[in-house]
Structure 1
Amino acid sequence: MTGAFDDLLTANEDFSRTFEYSGLTGRAARGLAVVTCMDSRIDPLKLLGLNPGDAKILRNAGARVTDDVLRTLILAVYLLNVDRVLVMPHTDCRMAKSTDEDVHELISREYGIDTRSLEFHTVANQDAALRRDLVRIRTYPYLPDRLKVGGAVYDVHTGKLMPVEL
């Protein structure tokens, strides 16, 4: 694992010299799970005033509540101290600017790969998708009724969260 990753390995050497998190457990100290996008403009710990160990961070394209997110939330709730979930998509998201067909076509045209067997979970209406995802968590039969579920859109241009109510 050299060459393409040398910068990361060097940075990790520096990080490990002053590593201070060895006492943390795998449990969410603040009882929080955050479902957000993989967009690199989002720093979920910093923007929410959290520290390492405070929350479980689940990331995917578009911050969608997929089957895998639900599976992960079950583990987080029952095994890792999570009692509240924040679903946090963001402004200026590529997944909200395309359809699945657009993405399939682009990948096929540019790279010659047929991705039509995949769902990319693009978002035609971000507000409606967020509300649907919140309902999906709240009504999922394997998650407890006591689980607190909230949603907010993160503005990547201002750093502000815009809460969304059901």
Structure 2
Amino acid sequence: MTDAFDDVLTANADYVRRFHLGGLQPVAARGLALVTCMDSRIEPLEMLGLKPGDAKILRNAGARVTDDTLRTLVLAVYLLGVDRVMVLPHTRCKMASVSGDAEVHDIIAARHGVDTRSLEFHTDKDQLGALRHDLERIRHHPLLPKNLAVAGAVYDVDTGTVTPVTE
């Protein structure tokens, strides 16, 4: 490895000395799957009163329910003890602040000279509309149980507040 990772590998050595999660079971002890954004301002366990082992955390840009998210939820429900799903995007998200995927492609091309048009970023300025659409994708997925509890909320990165979204 290169020096670019020395800081995290050194931190891991400290973590190993304090490690206490050995023997934790792979199931979601509280039956929760949380779909949230990869944003580093989000601390999924602490903000929802969870501890390691309580939930399956799925993170991606924008907290979107993509095909891969659905695949992972199917596995989580049938193999890992998940019986409820919360989708939790956040305020001031870059994926909800642009006019669409084309703008992101243009920004990356202009700044870095990389053509990303083969990728779909799932941007949407209508964050609540996108959330409601994603909740429906989960509710109507043919491989997920009809009685699966599904909810949406928005996390405020400035206050820490999680606000449920009504349908």
TM-score bucket of the superposed structures, by smaller chain: over 0.9
C-alpha spacing 1:160/1:120, structure 2 compared with 1 (3 Å): same
Secondary structure at the aligned position of 1:150 is classed as strand
**Could you tell me how far 1:135 is from its partner in structure 2?**
0.6
1:48-67 matches, within 5 Å, as 48-67=48-67
Q: Deviations over 1:100-133 (max 9, x none)?
A: 1110111111111111121110012001000000
Residue number in structure 1 paired with 2:5: 5
Structure 1 residue runs of 4 or more that deviate by more than 2 Å after TM superposition = none
Residue number in structure 2 paired with 1:145: 146
Secondary structure at the aligned position of 1:4 is classed as helix
2-structure distance, mates of 1:105, 1:10: 37
1:1-166 matches, within 5 Å, as 1-98=1-98, 99-166=100-167
Q: Deviations over 1:64-118 (max 9, x none)?
A: 0000000000000000000000000000000011111110111111111111121
Gaps of 5+ in 2: none
Secondary structure at the aligned position of 1:13 is classed as helix
Secondary structure at the aligned position of 1:11 is classed as helix
Secondary structure at the aligned position of 1:5 is classed as helix
Match for 1:102: what amino acid?
Answer: E
CA RMSD of superposed structures (Å): 0.7
**Could you tell me how far 1:18 is from its partner in structure 2?**
1.6
Percent sequence identity over aligned pairs: 66
1-structure distance, mates of 2:119, 2:19: 40
Q: TM-score, normalised by structure 1?
A: 0.98
Secondary structure at the aligned position of 1:72 is classed as helix
**Could you tell me how far 1:2 is from its partner in structure 2?**
3.8
1-structure distance, mates of 2:61, 2:36: 8
2-structure distance, mates of 1:134, 1:47: 21
Q: Deviations over 1:48-78 (max 9, x none)?
A: 0000010000000000000000000000000
Q: TM-score, normalised by structure 2?
A: 0.97
